[in-house]
Copies of this chain bind each other. A is one copy, B any other.
């Protein structure tokens, strides 16, 4: 197999490179690629996350950026900001990596069968319990971009400010969905026992059964491979059984509290933008030499909301 053709085919698979259609006409122009569509986007179509909602988690391997979904889980966002300001996560670790499920980070002492209360890290002024923020009432104030392709789990799905979400008009409730890269709040059985001190990111097929059962704190914008490519834990549910396997967390900071030179310059494509709509349509309908059949559909969790990091010269 000629590598250039293979790479071209693979690039089409990943939507990165345009290859002229074998019989292109004006009405059969090849589907624009993701790169082409993003290159044509306007500045107004990109949103800069509020630095008070942007967590910067520093690992030895690099930096993970997480945007808090403060419009959906405001109390959890506030509690996480408190923990972060008090440097709670510094020195903690990634303690659990379960294949096709989640990567979780928290106080390793809390993951033991019999945690020593004297060794558990203090939550400082952060709250130990929070009201469950699993769903909220649709209030008409948040921009809702529907996804018309349907969904197995929810009556309606769509996007709110870059976050994948679902709605049930019968109950008037709305919630965030457990797609790849979404960050949830681990808890005990008591619904108010999650407080943001233990967080997990989805690293496999979207576990949608968890929707409306846990609070979703936010979404990983940058750095997913630093969470998804870790060795899986050999203990039950993917917990590491050897402390040496745990990736240490050097620090977690709010972007707003970093010196400007260290603050990440990241933007998220607006999910109510024309470019975003064009991206979805390009996923549904593929006119190019590689695809034999267009799916005609795009699933909620198959959508990767574009993120770009600005370099200092931008």
Contacts and interface: CB of A to CB of B under 8 A. Distances in A.
Interface of A: 1-14, 16, 19, 96-101, 109-115, 132, 134, 149-153, 179-181, 186-189, 191, 193, 197-198, 204-213, 224-225, 228-232, 236-237, 283, 286, 289-295, 297-299, 301-302, 304
Name A's interface SS: loop
A3 B110 contact: yes
Contacts of A150: 150, 152
A129 to B, nearest CB: 10
A205 B208 contact: no
A260 to B, nearest CB: 29
B189 A9 contact: yes
Contact of A295 (B110, B153, B292, B294): B153
Contacts of A11: 236-237
Contacts of A14: 98, 101, 237
Contacts of A149: 152
Nearest to A4: B113
A159 to B, nearest CB: 15
A289 B189 contact: yes
